[in-house]
Amino acid sequence: MPADEGCYAGDAREEVDRMRRNVLVGMGMLPLAGMVLNPTKQAWALSNQVSMREDGRYRYIRSNAIPDHATGSFPNRKNPNSIKAQSLEFRLPLNPTKGGRFSSIDHMSFGVAVNGVPFDPFTAEFWQRDRQSGWRYEAISPTVDLGLDQNNAHVQPDGTYHYHGLPTGLIKSWSPDQHSIRIGFAADGFPIYAMFGYSDPNNPASPVVAVRSSWRVKTGTRPSGPGGTYDGTFGEDFEFVPGLGDLDEANGRETVTPEYPRGTYAYFVTESFPFVPRMLAGMPDRSFAKGPGGMGPGGQAGGPGSGPGGAPDQGRRPPPPGGGFPGQRPKFGQPPR
């Protein structure tokens, strides 16, 4: 066996893997759903399994977290984990309500896509590997490569494939003339959309635009930790500026959508920070917790909403330091509008 068998030698090797996979798809030997390559370059397909049901109060989503679209090569040089089927179950209220203030997601998944893949905005990487430093690396940044694929996704140590940004493979049409399709649900039950929405959120006849986040990179230099100029390497490099864009602090707004013609509060996954929202306007269900009692990634089979939320599993990300968010904001932000 060659010395480098079982690991990737570099970008050229990964490009060869992608070419091999495309050839197999073209020959009809592999479906487009959940394709991965193992370290010995053998290709196989993992089948996406997701189901939804309602009982009058809640929507239940069961999933194996295998996507229904092509993925990058895992493991790779920057992400050493292989995609594995999971057993996830999420519960969401059918009629969610907003609370008085935005709340942190702490050690919870933000939400789940319609294909059953979780949305997880935070990373487990900190400056000097010190979780108490207050400086958490961003998955999508100009200076850090955490092995994300073309869907802005990668794999947790337990094998869970998850999104950190726009899930491009999930979105079938990127027409700038149409409002985004609903791509998932947040832990509080409100819908999640990709970046296209109405320029007037109350008028479905208004032009469709790429909605803008109201977060930006701070100016100046970091006062502690890694030092240096704010550049988007860390979540703490960003600050929220009310009115800067179209969305609130949780990357959401009140709007009409094709699925909700009478209006709803909705979150948007955007091309710029925070990419995937990191706050919730409503009360999250404990089925999204990552510790005991949750059925989200890293959770245990306690069933949706059962048991108290616990500490993250080994290899999973912990809550942000002190429950804080980018810009070191407190656990609770401004009241939702």
The DSSP secondary structure of 192-249, one letter per residue, reads EE-SEEESSTT-TTSPEEE---SEEEPSSB-SSTT-SB--SSBGGGEEE-TTSSSS-T
What's the pLDDT at 228? Answer: 97
Mean pLDDT by 10 residues, the chain (337 residues): 33 44 42 45 66 97 96 96 96 96 90 98 94 95 94 96 96 82 97 97 97 98 97 97 98 97 98 97 95 51 30 32 30 37
Give residue-wise pLDDT tens across range 287-303: 999 865 555 554 433 33
What's the pLDDT at 290? Answer: 83
Q: Is residue 135 included in any domain, yes or no?
A: yes
What's the pLDDT at 176? Answer: 75
What's the pLDDT at 177? Answer: 84
Give residue-wise pLDDT tens across range 142-188: 899 999 999 999 999 999 999 999 999 998 767 778 999 999 999 99
Q: Is residue 10 included in any domain, yes or no?
A: no
Q: Is residue 168 included in any domain, yes or no?
A: yes
What's the pLDDT at 324? Answer: 29
Q: Would you state the structure tokens that stand for residue 96, as one six-digit string?
A: 């969610």
Q: Is residue 9 included in any domain, yes or no?
A: no
Residue appearing with tokens 């050229």: 12
Q: Is 315 left (phi over 0), alpha (psi -120 to 50) or beta?
A: left
Q: What is the dihedral of CA 10, 12, 14, 15, to 10 degrees?
A: 160
What's the pLDDT at 261? Answer: 97
Angle (CA) 53 57 59, round 5°: 30
Range of the domain at 155: 52-70+79-337
Q: Is residue 213 included in any domain, yes or no?
A: yes
Q: Is residue 2 included in any domain, yes or no?
A: no
Q: How many domains does the chain have?
A: 1
What's the pLDDT at 142? Answer: 87
Q: Is residue 291 included in any domain, yes or no?
A: yes
Q: Is residue 28 included in any domain, yes or no?
A: no
> Considering only CA atoms, which of 286, 92, 111, 268 is closest in space to residue 186?
111
